[in-house]
Amino acid sequence: MVTPVICLAHGSRHPEADAAVARIADAVSGLTGAPAHPSYLDFSALTLTTVAHLLAAEGHRRATVVPLLFTRAFHMRHDVPEALAEASAATGLEFTLADGIGTGGDVAALLASRIPPGTGHLVLYSVGSSVPGADETVAGLAADVGRRAEVGAELVTATGPSGGVDALVDAVRRATGPVHVAPLFISPGTLWDAAVDVLTALPDNISVTTGVPLDTAVAPLTAHRARERTAG
């Protein structure tokens, strides 16, 4: 029996978020030839334990879990291990935990490929984290994307004392040349919607474009993480 893949997302109150993760799981299944299922740490009934029960009922004894997370911050260090332990205890399934999406070169290349021609400056907009070093890691990703695209680049976070939409607007106003604001989001989210609302209301003399959440663009990376872990 082929080992299934579980695409484990944080979860969101946004009404379109779950559908995006389901699309990613479908794409991963097509790339790997294995069953792939969406699951969420929060805001959804499709918890890891729920999905594990479904897989166990189908006769599966193990599954590979790929967290759709960018940093090794609180969710990766605490929530994911707790969810795995709970699901394993409840169902007896054996889980193989793959690396998350991360902030490596393949993520940087993906983000760089999505920057519109003519962009002079990139603002990477992420949720942000209170875990020491996490935002610095994402700032390094922003710099890597900028080098690849040959544009100036910086990180602005949606949360934290120096983040939010006001900080985002300040970054856009300071920038030289057309600005592209790219969301470091897997799926639609309320924080990104709020940012887009503010950016689209800026005066016409401010040249700014906005990207969209990564959605199925991360499916090849997710499939690679799953293959890499099962092969190793």
Q: Are 4 and 34 in contact (CB under 8 A)?
A: yes
Question: What is the rounded CA–CA span in Å between residue 196 and residue 108?
Answer: 22
Question: What is the rounded CA–CA span in Å between residue 55 and residue 65?
Answer: 13
Which CA distances in Å does 90 have to 38, 46, 63, 93, 211? 18, 15, 14, 8, 40
Q: pLDDT tens per residue, the chain (232 residues)?
A: 899 999 999 999 999 999 999 999 999 999 999 999 999 999 999 999 999 999 999 999 999 999 999 998 888 889 999 999 999 999 999 999 999 999 999 999 999 999 999 999 999 999 999 999 999 999 999 999 999 999 999 999 999 999 999 999 999 999 988 999 999 999 999 999 999 999 999 999 999 999 999 999 999 999 999 998 776 5
pLDDT at residue 74, as a whole number:
84
Question: What is the rounded CA–CA span in Å between residue 57 and residue 52?
Answer: 8
Where do the domains of the chain lie, and which CATH numbers do they carry?
5-101+216-231 (3.40.50.1400), 105-214 (3.40.50.1400)
**Strand 94-97 relative to strand 121-126, pairing:** unpaired
pLDDT at residue 32, as a whole number:
97
pLDDT at residue 1, as a whole number:
82
pLDDT at residue 98, as a whole number:
97
Listing DSSP states for 26-71 in one string gives HHHHHHHSS-EEEEESSSSS--HHHHHHHHHHTT--EEEEEE--SS
pLDDT at residue 232, as a whole number:
53
pLDDT at residue 229, as a whole number:
78
